Structure 1
Amino acid sequence: MQNDDVDMVVADNTEADLDDMKKRLKEMEDEAAALREMQAKVEKEMGSMQDPATAGASQSNREEVDARSVFVGNVDYSCTPEEVQQHFQSCGTVNRVTIRTDKFGQPKGYAYVEFLEVEAVQEAILLNESELHGRQLKVTAKRTNIPGMKQHRPRRTNPYMGFQGRPPYAPPFAFPPYGYGKAPRFRMPMRYSPYY
């Protein structure tokens, strides 16, 4: 008799556990549906932000920020943003200092300083060739990148060879059959010479 009682208690516990798991599953499905709705709403808002009118507004905003910013080159790798801010504090109110880093987090050696006033840019340019951490800074006004307009550098030329890499008259598909700088060797056929 006691064995049957234990079986009934175990069955009741498994049914209660099963009902509890069904409730949790239902809650998780409802939460996933709510997250999908929120994600769709955010994507819709982001899509509307990509309007040409909105893109033009963000481009003009970027140009306005760039008009208040300077590029600082030859920044010492051990410089902190606070030290750069203190160096340019005399020009005007510094809004933000950005020291660019590579993918490993190491500084690249240049920074951008954004001011609150446009007039501060001219004052900051006067600090060109000033010293910070024993290095002469190169300070210029920040230029605005135009999306889709990649600036191409002119090809470097070698005064002895025209364009760098290959002669200008050779199309890229006209390679000599023996490789660059190699020519076929024409040798005299080997003949038997008994006295040699």
Structure 2
Amino acid sequence: MEQEEDVYMAAAEDTTNTNEAEIDDMQKRLKEMEDEAAALREMQAKVETQMASTQDPGSAAAMQANREEVDSRSVFVGNVDYSCTPEEVQQHFQSCGTVNRITIRTDKFGQPKGYAYVEFVETEAVQEALLLNESELHGRHLKVTAKRTNIPGMKQYRPRRPNSHMRARSPIVAPYMYSPYGYGKVPRFRMAMRYSPYY
């Protein structure tokens, strides 16, 4: 009988120990979740303040003015060789003035698109850089023009054209039109029927 009581007492102590361990574990997890929630609230407050500052019309106008000021010191360089490095472009335009930044645009695969932007420290250097239009770099004649400022929301509209393989299917149809007879169909004209009693 005493042995059974000892077994029950040991089992009760084990369950209380495991219950206490589970409670401690749950309290730790609750504390971690509260810390994460506090960090998220802090980040959200930062984002809201940044959004409020960007929506402020005064700051938007200041950003636009800053962009226009930077663009007035920059030139667009077209027909740049794909193997050209920013250092080589900088050496080419070094005689115009102090180069602040070179930007060679790339596609989503990291391949150069064939044009670059050169930003100078002085505004007068842009006029000197424009004199390097049609100059040669890596065997290519560069096209140098003043950089224009992009206006948000002013994208050039280009109407879509049907693919060349769609036009090749129906030879009768004029370009950019679809056949009214369906996919690949050509109208067929029959000879007029004549009455012939002795056929």
Q: TM-score, normalised by structure 2?
A: 0.73
> Cα distance 1:152–1:23, how it changes in 2: closer, same or farther (>3 A)?
closer
SS of 2:155's equivalent?
coil
Percent identity between the two aligned chains: 70
Q: Which moved more, 1:34-43 or 1:50-59?
A: 34-43
CA distance in 2, matches of 1:16, 1:150: 63
SS at match of 1:19: helix
Residue 100 of structure 1 aligns to a residue whose secondary structure is strand
- Post-superposition CA distance 1:120-178 (Å, at most 9, x none): 11111111122222222111110111222233579xxxxxxxxx946xxxxx8xx7743
Secondary structure in structure 2 of the residue aligned to 1:82? helix
- Cα gap change, 1:138 to 1:176, in 2 (>3 Å): closer
Change (3 A) 1:3 1:56: same
1:106 aligns with 2:111: yes
Q: TM-score, normalised by structure 1?
A: 0.74
Aligned to 1:65: 70
CA distance in 1, matches of 2:180, 2:104: 51
Cα distance in 1, alignment partners of residues 11 and 57 from structure 2: 72
Between the aligned partners of 2:21 and 2:179, the Cα distance in structure 1 is 83
CA distance in 2, matches of 1:87, 1:21: 66
For structure 2, the residue ranges without an aligned partner over 5 or more in a row are 1-5, 160-173
- Cα distance change, pair 142–2 in 1 and its aligned pair in 2 (3 A): same
Q: Partners of 1:33 and 1:41 in 2: how far apart? A: 13
User: 2: distance between equivalents of 1:190 and 1:51?
Assistant: 83
The answer to whether the Cα contact below 8 Å between 1:79 and 1:133 also exists between their aligned partners in 2 is: yes
Considering only CA atoms, is the larger Rg found in Structure 1 or Structure 2? Answer: 2
Check the 8 A contact 1:178/1:184 in 2, yes or no: no
Runs of 5+ in structure 1 lacking a partner? 155-163, 167-171
